[in-house]
């Protein structure tokens, strides 16, 4: 993919204006100045050299105005029993769910004074405007922030479901959802993000999620992208973990035109633990780029990462993952693995796992494999009576379901596995249960 070192015209972004509360105006202005300084990523930026963002500057983007009827989309993606907040083009809709004790969910502009004060102080602390150009752009266009807050020691039983819907029937649309999650010490939270897009026009969804996990808290986080072929999605997620906090992240990129995900887990407390799992399924000429960073800042922390990719037709996949171990982070235990199935001679995968270690008493490993389906496994299945096509479909399903079976939220797992089964012409009730 050819790219240019000439900075594209970013006036298509900077001409946009959004309304924000007075308390956010100074942050917005600083962020937009930052975006004007750095512009969009160029091909001489090592972190972006496989993802060309120049075409985004050629579109006359507009900001959301009127609400759209998304009843059918909500009905398809709603999660029964969850505390659910729906965003339509980044704007929160009225909530019907009763909040359990110890949990507050809603826009910052409607938050109680004590939560609002804490949220304003923490906003941008994990994902500052210097994080990447798209975080600066998102911050510069903030109208409001979705805040998810738990008190200390609260065990939130229902899943919190953030359903973000982007739809643009009339003109190219830029949406900028912003989410801030504050989990108190000793609390437990399960958060599911579902991102859906649908429309005749191009959509750019630029989402930023910041998570602050207090000491001994447990956070289980799911991000699922169901985007249409007109959508480019940029997602920046940062989780900051205090002492003995446990963070598990499950990611699924299942569709879309151009997808770029930046995920950072900052283990900033002794004994913290992070687990990152991801599955990518792309065909046609789609492009998915996952960049992950796990920073071990304190001693006695653990991390495990497994990403699996199925890349077909002329699609392009990128995985760049780094485990960074600070000099004081002794007794780190970290493992990172990337595995890819290439289903076409024209498909492309760039896999770049990396270690950067400054401590001397650690156990860190990384590995990457890229290749076609295992011929011996295909032969075995065919010897048991399956056709060549059926054997291939079953192996692809099993390869990806190694990730889905790690998902503890049954409804998320069921939906992804049903999609996988449909893609591979397999029975819809085929499922690999979580262990």
In whole angstroms, what is the distance from residue 162 CA to residue 171 CA? 25
Q: Which residue has the tokens 């990129």?
A: 253
In this structure, the answer to whether residues 30 and 148 fall within a common structural domain is yes
Segments in 209-316 forming alpha helices (H)? none
Asked whether residue 230 is domain-assigned, the answer is: yes
In this structure, the answer to whether residues 247 and 114 fall within a common structural domain is yes
Decide: residue 140, CB within 10 A, 0-12 exposed, 13-18 middle, 19+ buried: buried
Asked whether residue 33 is domain-assigned, the answer is: yes
Residues 6+ apart with CB under 8 A from 184: 149, 150, 151, 152, 153, 154, 214, 217
Answer yes or no: are the C-beta atoms of 104 and 111 closer than 8 Å.
yes
In whole angstroms, what is the distance from residue 217 CA to residue 273 CA? 11
Asked whether residue 37 is domain-assigned, the answer is: yes
DSSP state, 286?
Answer: -
Answer yes or no: are the C-beta atoms of 190 and 160 closer than 8 Å.
yes
Q: What does the pLDDT look like over 308-362, one tens digit per residue? A: 999 999 999 999 999 999 999 999 999 999 999 999 999 999 999 999 999 999 9
Longest pairwise C-alpha distance within the chain: 69
- For residue 70, the model assigns a pLDDT of 86
Quick one: CA dihedral 265, 103, 226, 16, positive or negative?
negative
In whole angstroms, what is the distance from residue 290 CA to residue 401 CA? 19
Task: Tell which of 237, 269, 301 closes a domain.
Answer: 269
Q: What does the pLDDT look like over 48-101, one tens digit per residue? A: 989 999 899 888 888 887 667 888 899 999 999 999 999 999 888 888 768 999
In this structure, the answer to whether residues 72 and 210 fall within a common structural domain is yes
In whole angstroms, what is the distance from residue 288 CA to residue 89 CA? 22
- For residue 4, the model assigns a pLDDT of 44
Q: Within 13 A of 351's CA, how many CA atoms are on the CB side?
A: 21
Six-digit token pair at 203? 């959509």
Asked whether residue 357 is domain-assigned, the answer is: no
Instruction: State which residues of the chain have pLDDT below 50.
Output: 1-5, 434-435
In whole angstroms, what is the distance from residue 205 CA to residue 194 CA? 13
Q: What does the pLDDT look like over 216-236, one tens digit per residue? A: 999 999 999 998 889 999 999
Six-digit token pair at 306? 């497994």
Quick one: CA dihedral 175, 416, 212, 329, positive or negative?
negative
In this structure, the answer to whether residues 379 and 261 fall within a common structural domain is no
In whole angstroms, what is the distance from residue 196 CA to residue 207 CA? 12
In this structure, the answer to whether residues 397 and 257 fall within a common structural domain is no
Asked whether residue 5 is domain-assigned, the answer is: no
- For residue 82, the model assigns a pLDDT of 95
Query: How many structural domains does the chain have?
Result: 2
How high does pLDDT run on average in the chain? 90
- For residue 435, the model assigns a pLDDT of 39
What element of type H or E holds 380? Answer: helix 375-383
Q: Is 2 helix (H, G, I), strand (E, B) or coil?
A: coil
b/e 67-98 (16+ beta carbons within 10 angstroms → b): ebebeebbeebebeebbbbbbbbbbbeeeeee
Task: Tell which of 269, 303, 327 closes a domain.
Answer: 269
In this structure, the answer to whether residues 257 and 391 fall within a common structural domain is no
Query: What's the distance, Cα to Cα, between the start and end of the chain in Å?
Result: 41
Task: Tell which of 242, 269, 296 closes a domain.
Answer: 269
Asked whether residue 255 is domain-assigned, the answer is: yes
Answer yes or no: are the C-beta atoms of 345 and 315 closer than 8 Å.
no
Answer yes or no: are the C-beta atoms of 386 and 377 closer than 8 Å.
no
Q: 406 is in which domain, residue-wise? A: 374-435
Residues 6+ apart with CB under 8 A from 35: 10, 13, 14, 129, 133, 136, 137, 140
Q: Is 429 helix (H, G, I), strand (E, B) or coil?
A: coil
- For residue 9, the model assigns a pLDDT of 62
Asked whether residue 284 is domain-assigned, the answer is: no
- For residue 66, the model assigns a pLDDT of 66
Residues 6+ apart with CB under 8 A from 346: 313, 314
Q: Which residues pair with 263 in a beta bridge?
A: 237, 292
What pTM, to 2 d.p., does this model score? 0.93
- For residue 160, the model assigns a pLDDT of 97
- For residue 378, the model assigns a pLDDT of 87
Q: Is 398 helix (H, G, I), strand (E, B) or coil?
A: helix
Asked whether residue 238 is domain-assigned, the answer is: yes
């Amino acid at each position: 993919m050819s790219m240019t070192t000439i900075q594209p015209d970013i006036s298509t972004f900077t001409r946009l204006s959004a309304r924000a509360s007075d308390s956010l105006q100074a942050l917005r202005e600083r962020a937009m100045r930052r975006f004007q300084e750095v512009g969009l990523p160029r091909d001489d930026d090592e972190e972006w050299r496989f993802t060309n963002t120049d075409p985004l500057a050629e579109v006359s983007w507009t900001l959301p105005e009127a609400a759209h009827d998304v009843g059918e989309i909500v009905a398809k993606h709603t999660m029964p029993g969850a505390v659910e907040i729906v965003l339509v083009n980044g704007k929160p809709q009225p909530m019907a769910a009763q909040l359990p004790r110890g949990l507050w969910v809603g826009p910052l502009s409607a938050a109680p004074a004590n939560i609002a004060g804490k949220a304003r102080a923490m906003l941008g602390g994990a994902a500052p405007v210097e994080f990447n150009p798209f975080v600066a752009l998102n911050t510069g266009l903030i109208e409001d922030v979705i805040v998810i807050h738990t008190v200390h020691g609260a065990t939130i039983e229902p899943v919190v479901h953030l359903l973000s819907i982007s739809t643009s029937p009339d003109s190219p649309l830029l949406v900028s959802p912003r989410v801030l999650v504050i989990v108190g010490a000793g609390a437990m939270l399960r958060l599911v993000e579902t991102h859906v897009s649908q429309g005749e026009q191009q959509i750019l969804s630029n989402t930023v999620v910041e998570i602050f996990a207090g000491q001994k808290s447990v956070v289980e986080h799911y991000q699922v992208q169901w985007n249409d072929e007109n959508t480019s999605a940029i997602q920046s997620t940062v989780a900051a973990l205090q002492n003995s906090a446990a963070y598990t992240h499950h990611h699924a990129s299942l569709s879309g035109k151009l997808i770029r995900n930046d995920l950072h887990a900052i283990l900033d407390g002794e004994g913290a633990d992070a687990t990152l799992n991801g599955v990518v399924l792309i065909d046609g000429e789609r492009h998915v780029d996952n960049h992950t960073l796990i920073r071990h800042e304190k001693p006695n922390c653990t991390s495990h990462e497994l990403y699996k990719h199925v890349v077909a037709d002329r699609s392009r996949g990128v995985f760049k993952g780094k485990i960074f171990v600070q000099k004081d982070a002794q007794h780190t235990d970290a493992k990172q693995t990337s595995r890819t199935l290439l289903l076409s001679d024209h498909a492309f995968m760039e896999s770049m796992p990396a270690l950067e270690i400054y401590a001397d008493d650690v156990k860190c490993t990384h590995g990457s494999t890229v290749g076609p389906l295992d011929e011996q496994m295909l032969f075995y299945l065919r010897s048991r009576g399956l056709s060549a096509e059926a054997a291939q479909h079953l192996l692809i399903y099993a390869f990806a379901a190694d990730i889905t079976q790690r998902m503890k939220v049954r409804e998320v797992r069921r939906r992804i596995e049903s999609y996988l089964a449909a893609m591979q012409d397999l029975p819809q009730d085929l499922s690999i249960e979580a262990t």
